């Protein structure tokens, strides 16, 4: 059996079975350090699978930090610092590496934190590793395992924007200048929802939460597994930007963009229906509800199973360059 035959999800299950750690299963490990929890996450990104050639050095640096800060947001924590490692080919321009560092610094400082350490090394392929730390009150931390049947399923922001940008940049889809600028900016400079995560952490009615950067399909799958529940998602409630809608060729492709592609740094959360109206200061959409079992999409009365698991590393198709 090869790694690219079982993919990231299968490999994580096997590694988790070996480690048997209580800290696995959420966006971050949660460590008891006294009056608060310390949350810790780590991510790895590569030139071939994660950074389209159209991205600048600053874009790469920004995204590398944003992906880990998004995990901190998914726990409802405030960022404490980011540690980064960078592996670069020896023939890389120094100016390009400096641009990456500027992007990392800009993203971290935008969200009230900074790069507090790291490492550099020579690699065959540009490789970025970031670890983010955060703090959250013990009574406010949000995990994936608290969703209950009857809860509402909600998401911040919009879905499908990175998919639309990919189709414009990589597949050559036609788009107006304005639409292209909006989509590419959202794709290359994702905005982790740290403020929203901290606000949502103050609401006891929010029962489970995670970031949705790997796609809605994978996220509902992971929430389902952690909470031992199912989800019913309503297709007509999925929030998609007008610029992204104009890129989709048809309704089927639009749903695929919103559910299966990934790349959105939004928050997916469940909330007690009796308390949802109390949430203030967070833009979100109710897209479904928690049920006893199954992952189901209701598309105007047409019922189907949500089978896609979003973006997954290590699968055979992921070996191809953007």
| 160 pLDDT higher than 50 | yes
Three-state DSSP state, 108: helix
User: In angstroms, rounded to a whole number, what is the distance separating the alpha carbons of residues 193 and 69?
Assistant: 8
| 318 pLDDT higher than 60 | no
- pLDDT tens for residues 232-279? 999 999 999 999 999 999 999 999 999 999 999 999 999 999 999 999
Mean pLDDT within 280-286: 97
- pLDDT tens for residues 76-121? 999 999 999 999 999 999 999 999 999 999 999 999 999 999 999 9
Domains of the chain: 3-137 (3.30.1330.10), 152-319 (3.90.650.10)
Distances (CA, A) of 288 to 93, 158, 270, 309: 48, 15, 9, 17
Are 292 and 149 contacting, i.e. CB atoms less than 8 angstroms apart? yes
Mean pLDDT within 299-319: 72
Beta-strand runs (E) in 173-301: 206-211, 230-234, 267-271, 284-291, 295-299
Residue 273's pLDDT is what? 98
User: Among 205, 215, 202, which residue's Cα sits nearest to residue 264?
Assistant: 215
Angle between helices 57-74 and 94-110 (to 10 degrees): 30
Q: What is the pTM of this model?
A: 0.91
Q: Which of 2-6, 286-290, 313-317 has the lowest mean pLDDT?
A: 313-317
Count how many residues are written for the chain.
Answer: 322
- Average confidence score pLDDT of the chain: 92
């Amino acid at each position: 059996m090869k790694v690219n035959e079982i993919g990231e999800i299968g490999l994580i299950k096997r590694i988790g079975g070996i480690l048997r750690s209580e800290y696995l299963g959420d966006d971050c490990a949660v460590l008891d350090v006294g009056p608060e929890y310390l949350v810790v996450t780590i991510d790895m990104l590569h030139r071939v699978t994660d950074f389209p050639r159209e991205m600048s050095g600053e874009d790469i640096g920004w995204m590398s930090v944003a992906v880990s800060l998004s995990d901190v947001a998914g726990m409802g924590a405030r960022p404490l610092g980011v540690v980064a490692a960078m592996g670069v080919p020896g023939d890389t321009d120094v100016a390009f590496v400096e641009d990456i560092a500027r992007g990392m610094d800009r993203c971290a400082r935008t969200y009230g934190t900074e790069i507090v350490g790291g490492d550099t090394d020579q690699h065959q392929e540009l490789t970025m590793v970031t670890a983010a730390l955060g703090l959250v009150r013990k009574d406010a931390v949000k995990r994936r395992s608290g969703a209950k049947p009857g809860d509402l399923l909600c998401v911040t922001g919009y879905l499908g924007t990175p998919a639309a940008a990919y189709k414009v940049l990589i597949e050559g889809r036609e788009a107006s200048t304005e639409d292209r600028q909006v989509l590419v900016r959202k794709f290359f400079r994702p905005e982790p929802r740290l403020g929203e995560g901290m606000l949502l952490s103050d609401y006891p009615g929010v029962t489970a939460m995670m970031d949705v950067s790997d796609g809605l399909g994978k996220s509902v799958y992971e929430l389902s597994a952690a909470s031992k529940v199912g989800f019913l998602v309503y297709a007509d409630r999925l929030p998609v930007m007008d610029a992204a809608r104009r890129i989709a060729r048809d309704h089927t492709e639009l749903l695929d963009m919103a559910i299966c592609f990934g790349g959105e740094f939004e928050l997916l959360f469940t909330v007690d229906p009796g308390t949802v109206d109390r949430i203030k200061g967070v833009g979100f959409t109710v897209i479904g509800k928690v049920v006893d079992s199954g992952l189901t999409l209701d598309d105007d009365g047409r019922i189907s199973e949500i089978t896609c698991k979003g973006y997954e590393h290590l699968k055979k198709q992921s070996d191809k360059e953007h």
